[in-house]
Structure 1
Amino acid sequence: MAAAGLRAELDSLLLQLLWDLEELESKRAALNARVEEVGAWGGRSVMPSEAQNGLQKFRVVRAGAQSAEEVGPREAALRRRKGLTRIPEPEPFSASPNPLNWFGILVPHSLRQAQASFQEGLQLAVDMASLQIHINWGRSQLRELQEKLKQLGFGAA
């Protein structure tokens, strides 16, 4: 019977939706705990991608962060007024993309903890965005199934 299949699909979708909502709530609680700890920033960005079922899924990617030396001027500060000798172009700075290295070798432990907390919080935020998209998709599928059941004359579940 078609109605029994629709009801089974509706039940399965509803259970998945409830599981996703529970996971979203736990990630929100974890993110709120991380937000309280964050005091530093990291060199990462968020990028959406398309999942197999056509929904967007977010993921964290390493940004092409520039170091402080790359942002500054390319020319030497002092120039010779006489003579044709040119100062050779400096070698590109190949420091670690970790912004904590900008503060020197002896970075306070609390700053490292804040960076790690921020990175975990960013991952949680990305997961939450993907979950929210999946929940919205599930809700629309749930409405469609309920409409199909109404059209068959069995009423909404």
Structure 2
Amino acid sequence: MLKIIAAISLIGAIACAKIGINDIDVGACEAGISMNQMCPGDLLVKGDFCYEPKCVEAEINKRAGRVDEELKKKKEKQQKEEEDRKQQEKEAEAERKRKQKPEEEEINPKTPVKKEEEEKPKVKPRCGRESNMCRHWVKQGFCKNAAYAESIRVQHCGRTCGLCQ
């Protein structure tokens, strides 16, 4: 009788170790052989053995954890693939634009001329009758206002501006 109990305990310990429960005491997983898939008390049936509920719950949680990790890895892999795909699309688009730009310059000969014109420094127009600024100052009464010094009026209206003199 003692040998049978020892054998059952050994089988239970092996079964708990086979389940892969590291954080639960093997002695707490004492199992017995189920009779027609029936176990006494609150023991749970798994295969041909009866287990403590803690052992079965721990195994379920451990399996769920593995499944969660696998799902996370799959999601991370999909996100990485998506990011790589987007990066490749951006690079392809940039390359296409770079190739298209020289073609447009060859088709449109005015483009280089515009670049040369843009590079020239812009010269401010001299104040004269044709200057919009002179007309603006006259309309505002700046040129006739004695509150402003003559040097300032000359600076803004200019000596050649007939409207200011």
Q: Which TM-score applies when normalising by structure 2?
A: 0.31
Bigger radius of gyration among the two: 2
Higher relative contact order (CA closer than 8 Å, sequence separation 6+): 1
* More strand as a share of residues: 1
Q: Which TM-score applies when normalising by structure 1?
A: 0.32
* More helix as a share of residues: 2
